[in-house]
Structures are given as structure tokens and as C-alpha cells.
Amino acid sequence: MAIGLDQRLVLTSLLSNASRMTELAVESRHLLLLVALDAAGSLHAASRKLHVSPSALSQQLRELEDRLGGPLFLRQWRRLVATATGRRLTDAARAALADLSRAESEARRLMSGTSGVLRLSTSCHQSYAWLPGVLRAFAERFPDVEVTVVADSADAPSEALLARKLDVALVTGDTPRARGLAYQRLFRDELVALVGSEHPLFGRAWVPLEALAHEHLWSDARALEPHTVLGRALALAGVAGPRKLTPVPPASGVAVEMARANLGIALVPRWAATPLAASGALGAVRLGKRGLALEWQIATRVGEADPALSAFVDSLVADHPRAPGRKPAGRL
């Protein structure tokens, strides 16, 4: 494809700028030289700090001055003193070396897994009720690792993991699998209907799935998608869906409050429904005689060997809602 004169001029300019960026006069060894000379005041004293011979340092200084086109240090009495140009470069060198030192320390901490950011998401907002205990235990071991909850990735955790927008995700077994991700089983639970104390289904141990055809469901619209536990079960039972669906944000808590007000039903995991029903204002009802099983899993990228990530996964395994000896979560 032919290009015009203007395009050739722009391309030439860009290539020239890129070439200049890769041909900086000042190298990392010069940064050390400038700071050492400014602090020590002589080539001999600087050579002892840098463990380089005075003649080698003198050659480096002449080389740098030749590249820049002027003197950087002048001899006053028995001491080398920076010129205005030398002072500007020395101040910049000192700042650059300090920044590099901090970056190196942070890199070492990241490599050892003792510092950094761990990004988490979950496909079920009720999970946030039991995460604080996990976070507290993890923070004791890794106080410099910040755990960030990325709620926006709950809709597509697999994609977010592969795009490195997440480091770990709590998902259910009906989450579409993706190559490049590893899934570790966490615990088995079931999806139940949450109803208020005045709802006709309150007190029932279970209801057939066909009963949902007469109910007002408050839920995330994704709960009825074909790949989900409920979506597949309704399709097998020949049920098109609930009488009415009001989509609500999963993390808002609206669905639970609407159920509490006897204005419809909500869908929650059994482990979350149990403490909610303790007051008697809500009841958990199994969907179908055998229930709708949920397999909770931890999703991470294959091959990740970060110590902090491994420790966080261990914390999730040790402190999930079905872990032995764990107290049930409180009201959501």
C-alpha cells in the first residue's frame, strides 16, 4: 500500500523520536557516578564508594561530558563541585536511583508474595458475608497485600481472570468453564427459595419446580439463563419461568427484603438462608424434591505460583461456610 509524502514525514519523525529515546547519553552507571562524586567530592573518594578505580571513573566522567557537550564538575581547591548542569543531572540521578531502589524492593516483595494487590470477585453476593473472616486471617500473614473486591467482574469471572483483571473468583459449578483456568472444589450446597412468614410456601420443606410458575421472583436475571442450575432444572421440568421476574442487583439485598415483606421470593444458597431464617421472619424452601445442588469452587489461572494467592486460597478452603467448626454468618 503506497503512502503519501505527509505520511512518510510523520513516520520518519516518529522513528527519529523512538531512536533518540533508545540513545540516551546518561546510563545507569553515570547515575551512580554523579551521586557518588557529589557526595564524596573527589574521584578517589568516589572510587572507594563505588569500588571502581579512579582512572575508570575519570574516563566515565569525560565520556559523559563529551556526550553532553560541556563540563559537569569543576575543581575548586581540592574538591569537585557540580556546575549548574551537573547539579541538575545529579539531582535527577539521586531521585532516579531512589525510585529504582523502591521499585526493586517492591519487586522483591511481589516476587516473594509479601506485597501487592489481590483482586477477588464472587458470583454470589451472599459470599461477602463470610469473607471478612477469611480476610482477617489472611491479613495477619500478609499485612502488605491488599485484597480488592472487583464486583463488576461477577457477571463474567472467567473472562476477567483470563484478562488478568482478577486473581481469584468464587464461582458455582454452573459457571462456564474456560481453558487456562483451574477450578478447585470448595463445598457443596443447594439453591433454595427464600419466602416471608406470610407467604403460602412458608413452612414447606420443598415445592415442585412447577410452583415457581405462579411466583413473583426477585433475582438477578442471569439466574434463569440456560446454563445455570435453575435454568436447566426449569427447562427439564417444562417450566417457562416464574409468573413475574423483577431483576435486581445481586449485591443490593433488595431480593431478601422483598421476600421478608412477603412480596415475592428470593433465591439464595442454603448456607446463607439458614441464618436468615433463624428469626422466623423468613423461611427456606427446597426447590424440587431432591433440591438444586450448587458446587462452590475457587477459580484461578493455571500456573500461578504466587505465594500470597496460594495462601488466600488456603484461607478460603479453611474458612468457608461449610468448614468444620465455623459459625454461621449473621443476617445479610
DSSP E strands, the chain: 73-76, 79-82, 116-122, 145-149, 168-172, 181-196, 206-207, 216-219, 244-247, 265-269, 282-287, 292-301
Q: How many domains does the chain have?
A: 2
159 and 266 both lie in a single domain: yes
Alpha-carbon distance of 299 to 309, in angstroms, equals 11
Judgement on whether residues 186 and 316 belong to the same structural domain of the protein: yes
Q: Answer yes or no: do 27 and 160 share one domain.
A: no
Question: Domain containing 16 — which CATH number?
Answer: 1.10.10.10
pLDDT at residue 10, as a whole number: 41
In a domain, 331, yes or no: no
Asked if residue 288 is part of any domain, the answer here is: yes
Shared domain for 190 and 283, answered yes or no, is yes
Distance CA(259)–CA(246), nearest Å, equals 12
Cell of 122: 464472587
Grid coordinates representing 167? 486473581
Q: Is residue 2 situated within a structural domain?
A: no
- Burial class (CB within 10 angstroms; exposed 0-12, middle 13-18, buried 19+) of 236: exposed
Let me know if residue 1 belongs to a domain: no
Same domain, 125 and 92: no
Q: State whether 44 and 122 are in the same domain.
A: no
Domain boundary pick from 57, 85, 112: 112
* Residue in 177, 315, 199 with CA at minimum distance from that of residue 264: 199
* Model pTM above 0.85: no
pLDDT at position 25 is: 79
The answer on 100 and 176 residing in a single domain is no
* pLDDT the model gives residue 165: 87
**Integer CA distances (angstroms), 268 to 45, 165, 174, 275, 317, in order:** 72, 27, 15, 12, 21
| 134 shares a domain with 248 | yes
Same domain, 106 and 122: no
Residue pair 122/154 in contact by the 8 Å Cβ criterion: yes
Is 330 contained in some domain? no
pLDDT on residue 321: 76
Domain identity same for 130 and 73: no
Q: Domain residues for 72? A: 8-112
Residue 110 has what pLDDT? 60
Which of 112, 132, 161 terminates a domain? The answer is: 112
264 and 248 belong to one structural domain: yes
CATH for 220: 3.40.190.290
Are 248 and 255 in contact, with CB atoms under 8 Å apart? yes
Within a domain: 3: no
Walking along the chain (332 residues) 10 residues at a time, the average pLDDT comes out as: 44 44 75 91 90 92 92 89 92 89 68 70 70 84 85 80 89 82 91 95 95 92 82 90 88 86 93 89 94 91 84 86 61 39
CA-closest candidate to residue 274, choices 123, 120, 130: 130
Query: What pLDDT score does 37 carry?
Result: 92
179 and 261 fall within a common domain:
yes
Q: Write down which residue in 64, 93, 112 finishes a domain.
A: 112
